[in-house]
Amino acid sequence: MNHKERMLAALKCQPVDRIPHGEQMLHDVLIQKILKVKMPKAEENALVRWMTEELSDFQFECHKKAREFLGFDFIHVFPREPWIKIDESKEGYPIYRDVWGMEAISTPFTYEILKKPVEKPEDLKTYQFPTIDDFKYDNLHKWVHKSDFFVVVQIETGFFKINQFMGFNNYMFYLYEHRRELLDFTARFFDHVFNLAKKVIQEGADCVWLSNDFAYNTGPFISPKDLWEMDFSFMKDVVRKIHDLGKPVVLHGCGNQNYTLDMLLDCEIDGLHSLQPTAGNDICQIKEKCGDRLCLIGNIDISELLPFGSPYDVDQAIKDLVEKVGKKNGLVIATCNLLDMDIPIENAITMHFAVDKYSARYL
């Protein structure tokens, strides 16, 4: 099987020749250690750069080689969101406006939001979402045309993205005091999500990866009833439309998924990513419940195991996951978020090399 065949089989919960694996993001600091090269601005905010900046040919080749070395099957990219510099702070840091109308001060490691695009209830009606042409697809094109990875493209969606337009507190206020207006805003937003999904599929994406952190460690931020009405009911329609275009859909969601799993199954997503073990997600129990209805992606802990465990600890965790879940089909191994700069390189390498080792032994 090649990368694309392996990932598609896993997402359909069908047998594979080995368990596929990869990451949402591989930090430049780790790439430097793998390849013994110097990456530009490696220690700065990698996620912001991954979402907003065009990869140079050198950066692309470094990312490609590091992923090939680790044996990844998929590459995770964004429709790029260019930032426009509009000013400077008194400390000399640039102030940017993004495609959504958010304005923020950007420092090498953080950014401070100065203005949100929805500041009052009336803005829910008048706000204009960006067009698909406001995004750039150059990084996507590189991975589609210059690699053989299974290309997943992340689109931020649902509760996670919508509350960013106005802030968490205002979202809660609008939820109860301006519910109709918030629902109409949400419907318009999900129209945008599908239009962007259709565009990235046209540009070569193999899979749409919806990202929606709607839960924390003990459950969802809002009630399951509200979550269905204000989010999942719209997502279900988007998933159906993407399936009609012939592509699978993965949902990324941090936090505890146990209270929302039935609703996610009803949405008919193909894969669920994160399955953060420290948030009460028992992947064996979830696999038992979901069977061949849902491919499980992630579950490798980044709070204790990878940063502080030994390579042996990491190796044995992969062995356990392959033996208990991998043999049942429908598993893609990854961290529950990303391979960040604070993870020892020997643990990152051990994790991904162990997938192939134990796949050969137990499948």
User: What is the layout of strands, in order, in the sheet containing 271-274?
Assistant: 74-77, 150-156, 207-211, 249-253, 271-274, 295-300, 331-335
Residue whose pair of structure tokens reads 């209830």 in the numeric block: 121
pLDDT tens, N- to C-terminus, the chain (363 residues): 999 999 999 999 999 999 999 999 999 999 999 999 999 989 888 888 899 999 999 999 999 999 999 999 999 999 999 999 999 999 999 999 999 999 999 888 888 899 999 999 999 999 999 999 999 999 999 999 999 999 999 999 999 999 999 999 999 999 999 999 999 999 999 999 999 999 999 999 999 999 999 999 999 999 999 999 999 999 999 999 999 999 999 999 999 999 999 999 999 999 999 999 999 999 999 999 999 999 999 999 999 999 999 999 999 999 999 999 999 999 999 999 999 999 999 999 999 999 999 999 877
Confirm if 22 and 32 have CB atoms less than 8 A apart.
no
- Looking at residue 254, what is its pLDDT? 96
313/261 Cα distance (integer angstroms): 29
271/297 Cα distance (integer angstroms): 7
- Looking at residue 124, what is its pLDDT? 98
- Looking at residue 297, what is its pLDDT? 98
Structure tokens at 3: 């990368």
Confirm if 291 and 316 have CB atoms less than 8 A apart.
no
Strand 207-211 relative to strand 249-253, pairing: parallel
Q: Greatest CA span in the chain, whole angstroms? A: 60
Contacts 24+ apart (CB under 8 A), 66-71: 66/26, 66/30, 66/31, 66/34, 66/35, 67/22, 67/26, 67/149, 69/34, 69/35, 70/26, 70/34, 70/348, 70/349, 70/352, 70/353, 71/21, 71/352, 71/353, 71/355, 71/356
Burial letters for 287-306: b for 16+ Cβ neighbours within 10 Å, e otherwise? beebeeebbbbbbbbbeebb
- Looking at residue 107, what is its pLDDT? 86
Integer CA distances (angstroms), 255 to 258, 278, 287, 299, 311, in order: 9, 8, 17, 11, 26
Angle of helix 179-202 versus helix 158-166 axis, rounded to 10? 120
- Looking at residue 7, what is its pLDDT? 98
Half-sphere exposure of 94 (CA within 13 A, CB side): 10
- Looking at residue 111, what is its pLDDT? 81
CA 39 to mean position of chain CA atoms:
23
